[in-house]
Amino acid sequence: ETGVTQSPTHLIKTRGQQVTLRCSSQSGHNTVSWYQQALGQGPQFIFQYYREEENGRGNFPPRFSGLQFPNYSSELNVNALELDDSALYLCASSPRQGLGLGTEAFFGQGTRLTVV
Amino acid sequence: TQLLEQSPQFLSIQEGENLTVYCNSSSVFSSLQWYRQEPGEGPVLLVTVVTGGEVKKLKRLTFQFGDARKDSSLHITAAQPGDTGLYLCAGAPGNQFYFGTGTSLTVIP
């Protein structure tokens, strides 16, 4: 068990709705990253938060937004849901900004979002 | 175009066989990591390779980092059904952490 928890584990939403996914990072970790993973594919980087500031963003539209709180937990918000947003959303925490030499990312179990 | 390309994408083998999974990039990485992911779970870190040419062994799994630090391989000896899963390489050429395209391995008893 990594100590990273995500909620909810499963969620069904209707196209056009908004959704908020939550992540509690591992104790002592100040960096949280979010990923979208389609079935059978590698996770795609959405964005990273370091000490409550966005610190890097992948190729996702502005309707994907996030927050990091003073306790380093994080939220991923998606507005105007589309069918293609259906995926497993993963949160990863790490002990320091950036993921370069020797830094490990610890993942939660993910939230399975289905948009109908 | 993916930053990290893995091959093969799918692999189905009999228990006891050997296999190799490749992870290639045109970018140089200070380190690369390998993860294994089971259905419905998040990726779990297997190993981090740091030095060009480095070889690390984890029981029946052997990981190698290319001399130029642009590629890596994972070799599994005598595969077992418990090795079934999605294998992902990953690295951070800058401040962002990228995953490979993934290799889905099925080991048939």
pLDDT tens column, A94-104: 876 554 444 67
The predicted-structure confidence for A79-92, as pLDDT tens digits, reads as follows 999 999 999 999 99
Question: Which residue does chain B place closest to A43, by CA atoms?
Answer: B99
**Mean pLDDT within B59-82:** 96
The predicted-structure confidence for B30-61, as pLDDT tens digits, reads as follows 889 999 999 888 899 899 898 899 999 999 99
Q: Which tokens belong to B37?
A: 């992911």
Q: A63: helix, coil or strand?
A: coil
What span, in angstroms and rounded, lies between the C-alpha atoms of B55 and B39? 28
What span, in angstroms and rounded, lies between the C-alpha atoms of B81 and B65? 26
Q: Residue A40 is nearest to which of B94, B95, B102, comparing CB atoms?
A: B102
Model pLDDT, residue A101: 40
What span, in angstroms and rounded, lies between the C-alpha atoms of B21 and B73? 6
What span, in angstroms and rounded, lies between the C-alpha atoms of A32 and B5? 24
CB contact under 8 A, B31 and A110: no
| Residue whose structure tokens are 């290799």 | B103
CB contact under 8 A, B98 and A45: yes
What span, in angstroms and rounded, lies between the C-alpha atoms of A78 and B100? 24
Strands A64-68 and A74-78: antiparallel
Model pLDDT, residue A97: 59
Q: What percent of chain A has pLDDT over 90?
A: 60
> What would you measure as the largest C-alpha separation in chain A, in angstroms?
41
Q: Indicate the average pLDDT of chain A.
A: 89
Higher pLDDT: B107 or B2? It is: B107
Give the angle B18-B22-B25 at the CA atoms, nearest 5°. Answer: 175
CB contact under 8 A, A104 and B45: yes
CB contact under 8 A, B42 and A103: no
